Amino acid sequence: MANPFSLEGKVALVTGANTGIGQGIAVALANAGADIAAAGRSEPTETKALVEATGRRFLSIKADFGSTEPVQRVIDETVAAFGKIDILVNNAGIIRRADSIEFTEADWDAVMDTNLKVVFFLTQAFARQALKQGPVNGVAGKVINIASLLSFQGGIRVPSYTASKSGLAGLTKILANEWAAKGINVNAIAPGYFDTNNTEALRNDADRNASILARIPAGRWGQPGDLGGAAVFLASPAADYVQGITLPVDGGWLAR
């Protein structure tokens, strides 16, 4: 039997892959056999080196996902370089922190546009391309959305982030409902508290850092590589019958 976790011959587009979670996922997919297109605002120099060290091809695409401007372009550039696209990882996202009583419209719109609106339209463009390519062994494409623990919980001082990530879990379900029969899998991963740029303020706050660690059964912050297995699973034939889930990778946070 062929390895059900192999991504040999697949092409994956990962947004926001220059550091952190996106980088960890891109490298894991490459290790499983996929060629990688990385789209984001910053040049993913380190990610490029790590992916190419696996023997896989790498494409960097400059894109600011604060608007829908780059949506079709990143799909087209990926296909032009590799001939097709099989996997989309919607990782690019931003966060704004302030008490809800003081939260601004500008911060609300920036987060909702990046984390939810643009994700929908990029996924739509990916699905159109996947359906145009047609299914292979019944599968036309795989979508992995990067959700959050705040897809399940409320959090504090991040109202637009919580709304966007709760919405992303719902979007994952509706797209799975509509596209499963067409051969497109849509699922999500909900990272717990990970050591990334987005959580730097929390880790630098001694009290918050201590309270967060006390709640995590694993006793540590997650590292980007901790998400690799979940991403490879959802992108691989092993998950062909998995649809519409949001999989927590959280060191046991939600079980506490």
Q: Is 161 a catalytic residue?
A: yes
Which residue in the list 58, 65, 120, 161 is annotated as catalytic? 161
CA-nearest of 227, 119, 236, 248 to 174 is 119
Q: What are the structure tokens assigned to 54, written together? A: 């696996």
As a whole number of angstroms, the distance between CA 148 and CA 221 comes to 14
What single letter denotes the amino acid at residue 12? Answer: A
* Residues whose CB falls within 8 Å of the CB of residue 62, separated by 6 or more in sequence, listed in order: 39, 40, 41, 43
Q: Using alpha carbons only, what angle is made at residue 235 by residues 149 and 168, rounded to the nearest 5 degrees?
A: 35
- H-only helix segments in 12-158: 20-31, 45-52, 71-82, 105-112, 118-133
Crossing angle of helices 71-82/118-133, nearest 10°? 30
As a whole number of angstroms, the distance between CA 169 and CA 93 comes to 14
As a whole number of angstroms, the distance between CA 126 and CA 147 comes to 18
CA-nearest of 192, 188, 190, 191 to 245 is 188
- H-only helix segments in the chain: 20-31, 45-52, 71-82, 105-112, 118-133, 159-179, 200-204, 206-215, 228-235
Residues taking part in catalysis? 161
